[in-house]
Amino acid sequence: MDLAYSEEEEEFRAGLRKWLASVLPALPPRPDPRDWPARRAYDCGWQRGLYDAGYADVHWDASPTRRLIFLEESERAGAPYVGANFVGLLHAGPTIAAEGTKAQRERWLPPVLRGDEVWCQGFSEPDAGSDLASLRTRAVRDGDAYVVTGQKIWTSHAEVADWCELLVRTDASAPRHRGITWLAMPMDATGITVRPLRTLAGSTEFAEVFLDEVRVPVENRIGEENDGWRVTMVTLSFERGTAFVGEVVACRRVLAELARAARASGAWDDDVLRRRIGRLSAEFRALWRLTQWNVSEAEASGGVPGIGGSVFKLRYSHARQELYDTAAAVLGPDALDLGREWNLDRLSSLSYTIAAGTSQIQRNIVAERILGLPKGR
Amino acid sequence: MDFRLTEDQQALKAGVRALLERRFDREALRAAVEAGGTLDRALWRELGVAGFFALRLPEQEGGVGLGLPEAVLLFEEAGRALLPGPLIATHLAAGEVPGAAEGKTVVTRPDGALVDWLDEADVVVDESVGAGGGRESVEAVRRRAEPVRSVDPLTPLHRLPVAGPGPVPADAILLAAAEQLGSAARTTETAVQHARERAQFGQPIGAFQAVKHLCAEMLVRTEVARAAVYAAAVTADPVEIAGAKLLADEAAVRCARDCLQVHGGMGFTWEADVHLHLKRAWVRAERWLPAAAAEEREAAALLGTPAEAA
Ligand SMILES: Cc1cc2nc3c(=O)[nH]c(=O)nc-3n(C[C@H](O)[C@H](O)[C@H](O)COP(=O)(O)OP(=O)(O)OC[C@H]3O[C@@H](n4cnc5c(N)ncnc54)[C@H](O)[C@@H]3O)c2cc1C
C-alpha cells in the first residue's frame, strides 16, 4: 500500500504543472457549446498544444500512473478536457494501438495525437443498445471494399468527426458475437447522412447516422473479419477504466465550491444539507482512491484496465448525479434557472447511468464476471 | 505509487485469516454467542502471542514494529471472523497498560455513553476522566455503570450516566472501519455463495437479476470502502479516516441487510450468522465516530475550518 509517487513521477508532475501554468493564460476563450465547428477547433487546438509540448501520447503510451498524474494536474489547473477528441484519444486510438497493424497505427494514430483528425463511435443502433451484439448494420465484401448499409444512433460528435469506429455485421449466419467486424469509416464517404439529435439539455451532442451503401476499404478493418467483438471489448474496457479520472478531480473541486456557496447563502446551517455535502466529500475521495487502486492494478497487468472499471463506473455515475442534485438543493429556487452554474451539469449528469453501458448492465457485468453468478436473461 | 498490498502484507493477512480459522472457527463463534458475554481468555492470550495487540509497538519495546496499514489488515480479518472482545481498546493500550500487548490484560474504553466488555475488562482507559489518559478503577466504573440489554450477543454493553465524549483517537476510528470492511466483505461472499447454491423456480437464485444486482451492489460498496479504508491507513489523515469510517459503516450495515435478504427465511433465524454481522455492524456504526459526526468532520474540512472534536 504505497500512495507516494516516485521521484520520476513527481518530476513529470512538476514539469507538467509548470507547462500548464505557462500556456493556460494564453488560451482563447471557450467556444459557445452550441457551435460544434468552433468546439472542434478549440479541442483540436488544445490537443495540438499538448502534442508540441510532448504530452500528446499520455493517454496511451505512458504508464497508467503518468496518465493519472496528467489528468489530475490538467483538471487542477483548469485545462480543457479532451472534448471532441474523446473517441480518438480514449476509444478508437487505444484500440488501434492494441489491435492495429503497423501500417494502421502509422496511418491513424499520429493525426489523433496532433489534433488533426476527430473520431466518433458508431456502435449503438436503434435495435442494439445494451444488447450491442444484436447489431444489424450490414457490410458485404465487394472487391477491396466493404459495402455498408444500416443505421447507427447516439453517435456523439458525428457532425464534426473525420472517422467513425464502426461495428458492422459481416456474417449473418454466424453466432451473434462471431459475425461482427470493426471498421474505420471515413465520415466524408458517399452514402453517409448525419442527422443531429437534441438532448434533454437542449444541445446536439449526438446524432443518428444513416449508411447507404457506403464503401469502406478492406484495409480499414482493425483485427480479423468477424473478430470485431473481441476488438470491441478492448475498447470498452478502456472506456470504463480510465475515462473518468479527470472528472473525479473536477467533482471534488465542485464540491468545495458548493460548500462555499452554501455557506454564503446560509444553506450551510441546514444540518441535513451540510451533512449530505460532507458525505459526498467522503464519497468522491473514496472514488479517487479507487481510481488509484485500479491504476495500480492496471500498471501491474501491463496497462489494460480490468473489469474493476465497472465497479468504479457504477458508483461514480450515481455519485455524480447525487452531487448535482445536492447542488440543486443548495441553490433552492435558483436550481430552476439554467443560467446558473451547475444546472446544466445536473441535466448532463442524467446520462451517466445510461451512456457507456447502463447501470443495470454494469451490475450484470459485476455479478457475472467478478462474482461468478450464473448468466441469466 | 503502488496501492496494492505488498507481498508481506498479503502474507500477514493470510496468516491472520488462517489463525482465526483455526482458533476461532464457526463452532467457536457459536459457542461465544451462547457464552453470552464471557471472553475466551486463552484465545485472548493467543492473540497477544500472535502480535495482534503489539503489532504497532516498536520492536525494542517488544512489539512487532509494523504500522497502521498492517493493523488495518488485521482488524479487517477480525471483523470478517466476528472475533469478539474489546480488540481496539486493548490494541491501543499496548505499551501503555501492562499486559495489554501480551494479551494478558483485557482493556476497554468508553466511547460516549457506552462501554463494552466492562464485566470482563481488567482495566478501563477513559481519557475523559482526568487529564492525559486518566484511569479509573474497573470497580469504580462498574459502580456507576448500568448494564444494557445489548442488541449484539457478542458485544456486552454498559451505559454510563455521564456521557464522557472524550476525544476518540483517529486510529481507533480507522480500526473500527477496518472491522466493518471485513464484515462487509464476508457478508458479500456469503450472499454470493448462497445465491449460487440455493435453487428456486428450477434455477440458482443468483441467476435472477433482482438477486444478482443486490450482490453486485454489495461488492461495489465493499470495494469503495476498501479503497477508502486502505488509503486512510496510508495517509493517517483524520478527515480521510472519518470518511473511511462513514463508508465502511454503510458497507457493513447495508451488506449485512442485503445478505439477510438473499438468505430468505433462513436469514431471519438465530442459527444463520447474518444477524451477528448486522448487529455487530450496528454497534460499530454507533461507536467510534458515528455517521453524523463523520459527515460533520468531512463538511468542516471542505470549508477548511478545523473539525470540532467529535
Ligand atoms: C450521452 C450519450 C452519449 C452516447 N454516445 C454514444 C456514442 O458515441 N456511440 C455509441 O455507439 N453509443 C452512444 N451512446 C449509446 C449508449 O451506449 C446506449 O444508450 C446504451 O448502451 C443503452 O442502450 P439503449 O439506449 O438502446 O437502451 P436499452 O438497451 O434499450 O435500455 C433501456 C433500459 O433497459 C435496461 N436493460 C436493457 N437490457 C437489460 C438487461 N439485460 N438487464 C437489465 N436491464 C436491461 C437498461 O438498463 C435501460 O434501463 C450514448 C448514449 C448517451 C446517453
pLDDT at residue A371 above 80?
yes
Distances (CA, A) of B308 to A9, A256, B244: 36, 19, 18
The mean pLDDT of A278-298, rounded to a whole number, is 93
- Answer yes or no: do A108 and A169 share one domain: no
- Answer yes or no: do A251 and A352 share one domain: yes
- Domain's final residue, options A71, A87, A114: A114
The domain that contains A220 carries what CATH number?
A: 2.40.110.10
Index of the ligand 1 atom closest to the CA of residue A152: 11
- Answer yes or no: do A348 and A275 share one domain: yes
The domain that contains A108 carries what CATH number?
A: 1.10.540
Q: Give the position of cell 483548469.
A: A78
Parent domain of A358: 244-370
What's the confidence (pLDDT) of residue A239? 54
Index of the ligand 1 atom closest to the CA of residue A364: 42
Is there a contact between A286 and B224 if contact means CB atoms under 8 Å apart?
yes
Q: Which pLDDT tens digits describe chain B residue by residue (310 residues)?
A: 899 999 999 999 999 999 999 999 999 999 999 998 899 999 999 999 999 999 999 999 888 999 999 999 999 999 999 999 999 999 999 999 999 999 999 999 998 889 999 999 999 997 765 444 556 789 989 999 999 999 999 999 999 987 655 678 999 999 999 999 999 999 999 999 999 999 999 999 999 999 999 999 999 999 999 999 999 999 999 999 999 999 999 999 999 999 999 999 999 999 999 999 999 999 999 999 999 999 999 999 999 865 544 3
Is there a contact between B302 and A290 if contact means CB atoms under 8 Å apart?
no
- Answer yes or no: do A289 and A260 share one domain: yes
For ligand 1, the distance from its centroid to the CA atom of residue A254, given in whole angstroms, is: 27
* Amino acid letter, residue A23: V
- Answer yes or no: do A259 and A337 share one domain: yes
What's the confidence (pLDDT) of residue B135? 66
* A-chain residue closest to B72, CA distance: A1
Q: For strand A119-122 and strand A163-169, is the pairing parallel, antiparallel, or unpaired?
A: parallel
- Answer yes or no: do A258 and A321 share one domain: yes
The mean pLDDT of A287-311, rounded to a whole number, is 82
- Answer yes or no: do A205 and A248 share one domain: no
A18-21, long-range: CB within 8 Å, 24+ apart, which pairs? A19/A53, A19/A55, A20/A73, A20/A74, A20/A77, A20/A79, A21/A77
Q: Per the domain annotation, does A133 fall within a domain?
A: yes
For ligand 1, the distance from its centroid to the CA atom of residue A129, given in whole angstroms, is: 5
* A-chain residue closest to B299, CA distance: A278
User: How far apart are the C-alpha atoms of A249 and A269, rounded to whole Å?
Assistant: 26
Q: Phi, psi at residue B76, to the nearest 5°?
A: -60, -45
Judge whether A63 is closer than 8 Å to chain B, CB to CB.
Answer: no
Q: Per the domain annotation, does A267 fall within a domain?
A: yes
What's the confidence (pLDDT) of residue A322? 98
The domain that contains A332 carries what CATH number?
A: 1.20.140.10
Residue A239 bears catalytic tag: yes
What's the confidence (pLDDT) of residue B130? 46
User: How far apart are the C-alpha atoms of B300 and B296, rounded to whole Å?
Assistant: 6
Judge whether A174 is closer than 8 Å to chain B, CB to CB.
Answer: no
Q: Whole-prediction pTM value?
A: 0.95
Judge whether B237 is closer than 8 Å to chain A, CB to CB.
Answer: no
* Amino acid letter, residue B190: T
pLDDT at residue A344 above 50?
yes
- Answer yes or no: do A123 and A105 share one domain: no
- Answer yes or no: do A130 and A210 share one domain: yes
For ligand 1, the distance from its centroid to the CA atom of residue A168, given in whole angstroms, is: 18
For ligand 1, the distance from its centroid to the CA atom of residue A334, given in whole angstroms, is: 31
Lowest pLDDT segment from A79-83, A332-336, B91-95, B282-286? A79-83
Which residue has the least CA distance to atom 48 on ligand 1? A358
Judge whether A102 is closer than 8 Å to chain B, CB to CB.
Answer: no
Judge whether B310 is closer than 8 Å to chain A, CB to CB.
Answer: no
What's the confidence (pLDDT) of residue B134? 58
User: How far apart are the C-alpha atoms of B287 and B291, rounded to whole Å?
Assistant: 9
Q: In this predicted model, what pLDDT tens digit does every residue of A257-284 receive, in sequence order?
A: 999 999 999 999 999 999 999 999 999 9
Q: Per the domain annotation, does A50 fall within a domain?
A: yes
Mutation to probe ligand 1, out of A358, A362, A363, A369 (largest number of atoms < 8 A from CB)? A358
Pocket of ligand 1 (CB under 6 A): A 121-124, 129-130, 154-156, 205-206, 351, 354-358, 360-361, 364; B 209
Contact residues, chain A, for B255 at CB < 8 Å: none
What's the confidence (pLDDT) of residue A61? 62
Residue A305 gets which letter from DSSP?
-
Q: Which of A2, A68, A285 to mutate to test the interface with B (most CBs of B within 10 A)?
A: A285
User: How far apart are the C-alpha atoms of B228 and A283, rounded to whole Å?
Assistant: 9
Which domains does chain B show, CATH number per domain? 7-164 (1.10.540.10), 170-302 (1.20.140.10)
- Domain's final residue, options A225, A256, A282: A225
- Answer yes or no: do A135 and A204 share one domain: yes
The mean pLDDT of A10-15, rounded to a whole number, is 96
Q: Per the domain annotation, does A323 fall within a domain?
A: yes
Q: Per the domain annotation, does A234 fall within a domain?
A: no
Q: In this predicted model, what pLDDT tens digit does every residue of A184-212 receive, in sequence order?
A: 999 999 999 999 999 999 988 899 999 99
Judge whether B216 is closer than 8 Å to chain A, CB to CB.
Answer: yes
DSSP string, A322-351: HHHHHHHHHHGGGGG-TTSTTHHHHHHHTT
pLDDT at residue A250 above 50?
yes
What's the confidence (pLDDT) of residue B306? 56
- Answer yes or no: do A272 and A363 share one domain: yes
- Answer yes or no: do A97 and A175 share one domain: no
Three-state DSSP state, A220:
helix
Q: Per the domain annotation, does A130 fall within a domain?
A: yes
B308 in the Ramachandran plot: left (φ > 0), alpha (ψ -120 to 50) or beta? Answer: beta
In the set A239, A283, A322, A341, the catalytic residue is A239
Q: Per the domain annotation, does A237 fall within a domain?
A: no
Contact residues, chain A, for B240 at CB < 8 Å: 285
Question: Using 50, 70 and 90 to split pLDDT, how confident is the model at A305?
Answer: low
What's the confidence (pLDDT) of residue A53? 95
- Domain's final residue, options A198, A225, A252: A225
What's the confidence (pLDDT) of residue B131? 40
Is there a contact between B3 and A370 if contact means CB atoms under 8 Å apart?
no
What's the confidence (pLDDT) of residue B38? 92
Which residue has the least CA distance to atom 24 on ligand 1? A129
> What's the number of domains chain A is made of?
3
pLDDT at residue A99 above 50?
yes
Question: Using 50, 70 and 90 to split pLDDT, how confident is the model at A232?
Answer: confident
Q: Per the domain annotation, does A233 fall within a domain?
A: no
Judge whether A25 is closer than 8 Å to chain B, CB to CB.
Answer: no
What's the confidence (pLDDT) of residue A235? 65
pLDDT at residue A376 above 80?
no
Index of the ligand 1 atom closest to the CA of residue A120: 8
